[in-house]
Amino acid sequence: MEAGPRDREQRARNDLSRLSPDGPDETVDLLADDSGADGAVEVELRPPRRLRIWQLAPIVGLAAVGSLMFAFPLAFGSGDGGAVVAMLGLLISCCAAGWGMMAARRVGHTWPGLPERSSGERPDWRVIALYVVVAAALVALAVWRVARLR
């Protein structure tokens, strides 16, 4: 009597204990049956895409400089040019954030709640609305604080 599909799946699950993270430890045909399948195991050879230090260093540097330029005039109210320096710092911080988002998107990261780039799914409008409201509130608070410097 020939084994059914359920028996083959159960046998394959039992044989998974002999797998290492990069493939089988020994040359065993996991789904061996009489149909003549070659039993090839697919293994991803490319390393996972990650942001490298040379990509992160300028982003972190710009964000630090921009946030310091934004924070010091706001905290200490230094002179007539404080509002201009604060707005320039805010602009540099926003540029660093955008640069970081584009670099992260290039290696395959997505925002929480949004689908992956090549998945073909549509993003949920509630998640997008939440992101827009949070960003608008942060911009409004920053502009309001800088306007109070004058």
Q: Are 86 and 146 in contact (CB under 8 A)?
A: yes
Whole-number pLDDT of residue 7: 57
Residues with Cβ within 8 Å of residue 18, at least 6 apart in sequence: 24, 25, 26, 28
Q: How far apart are CA 73 and CA 44, in angstroms?
A: 51
Whole-number pLDDT of residue 136: 95
Tokens encoding 142: 């920053």
pLDDT tens by residue, the chain, 150 residues: 555 555 555 555 555 555 555 555 555 555 555 554 555 777 777 777 777 788 788 888 888 888 888 888 777 766 677 778 888 888 898 889 888 888 888 887 888 888 877 778 888 889 999 999 999 998 898 888 777 766
Whole-number pLDDT of residue 129: 95
Q: How far apart are CA 100 and CA 70, in angstroms?
A: 19
Question: Which spans in the chain are helix H?
Answer: 5-15, 53-76, 82-106, 125-148
